[in-house]
Amino acid sequence: MPAQRLSVVVTRRLPEPVETRMKELFDVELRDPDTKMTREDLASAMRRADVLVPCVTDQVDAALIAQAGDKLKLIANYGAGVDHIDVATARQRGILVSNTPGVVTEDTADMTLALIMAVTRRIPEGLQVMQAGEWRGWAPTAFMGGRLGGKRLGILGMGRIGQAVARRARAFGMQVHYNNRKRLRPELEAELDATWWESLDQMVSRMDILSINCPYTPSTYHLMNARRLKLMKPTAVIVNTSRGEVIDENALTRGLRAGELGGAGLDVFEHGHEVNPRLRELPNVVLLPHMGSATLEGRIEMGEKVIINIKTFADGHRPPDQVVPGQL
């Protein structure tokens, strides 16, 4: 007699190959239409499912976990970041949490360099003129930006994505600097030709470009606060493809509007999709709708990792990407 299949609830639509494979393996509920679940929807799903597959738009906090049914044993997150899940409370309830690390590394690093180029070379301004049909021909002083070669790039957070950004930056002839909780191994530091700064304050004050690549944790909330932003050069550019909460968005907006910073490229925002409207008014700011990991290949790989985590759990083993509280 075949074993009963796990009941799995997925909170958002996933790429078709991922959903097809899930239907083959599990008793799965897919989201249709692709809208964000309400809090009531999530609570209901957590009462009837063995496995919940949420994503970054779902806030699975302690109060919600308290409403989970006895069936729920695994939260298999579709994504690497788990700051939207109360992992410690889940663990106390006997619910495991897994994620999908490493999948988005290259795609996010690509987008980081794209934002750096877009801001420093004023690409959106040129695009806007062309689309409006307002270009009147080449001029020696039109749309002058900055050269990347020789610029000092400071990377805040030298994990997988930070290292991938460093490798790309070196190919553009940039000088790589970084601040991290722990210094890299000497051989890796030499491979990346990266200079470590123990003091974040000292690093940001000397950089031409600052890339935010650290995760969001209580200790990184507003790590780039008003004081640190004021330490940056008035010509410096800040790029964030990590989590919006790492930057004090209001302070950043004030600094940009006051001419205290050269520009910003943001793929994430402090309050989710609610973007400070004053940022949209600035020509030296490039805003993207959290699309750093948005490649078909990457999203399918994320789904494959979710499936492996669920299948391994179903087979009675620890999910390979289990998240342990205190080791985030």
Residue spans per domain, the chain: 7-103+295-314, 105-287
Question: Mean per-residue pLDDT for 14-24?
Answer: 97
Burial of residue 189 (number of CB atoms within 10 Å: 0-12, 13-18, 19+): middle
pLDDT digits (tens, 9 = 90+) for 117-175: 999 999 999 999 999 999 999 999 999 999 999 999 999 999 999 999 999 999 999 99
pLDDT digits (tens, 9 = 90+) for 86-117: 999 999 999 999 999 999 999 999 999 999 99
Read out DSSP for 133-156?
Answer: T------TTTT-----TT-EEEEE
Check pLDDT > 50 for residue 20.
Answer: yes
pLDDT of residue 81: 87
pLDDT of residue 3: 60
Indicate the CATH number of 7-103+295-314 among 3.90.1150.10, 2.60.40.3880, 1.10.1060.10, 3.40.50.720.
3.40.50.720
CA 288, CA 117: separation in Å to the nearest integer?
14
pLDDT band, residue 84 (cuts 50/70/90): very high
pLDDT digits (tens, 9 = 90+) for 199-227: 999 999 999 999 999 999 899 999 999 99
Q: What is the pTM of this model?
A: 0.90
Could you confirm whether domain 105-287 is CATH 3.40.50.720? Answer: yes
CA 174, CA 148: separation in Å to the nearest integer?
6
CA 253, CA 208: separation in Å to the nearest integer?
18
Asked if 46 contacts 74 with a C-beta cutoff of 8 angstroms, the reply is no
Asked whether this chain's domains 7-103+295-314 and 105-287 adopt the same fold, the reply is yes
pLDDT of residue 2: 47
How many Cβ atoms from other residues are within 10 Å of residue 198's Cβ? 9
Q: pLDDT higher for 34 or 121? A: 121
pLDDT of residue 327: 57
Check pLDDT > 80 for residue 325.
Answer: no
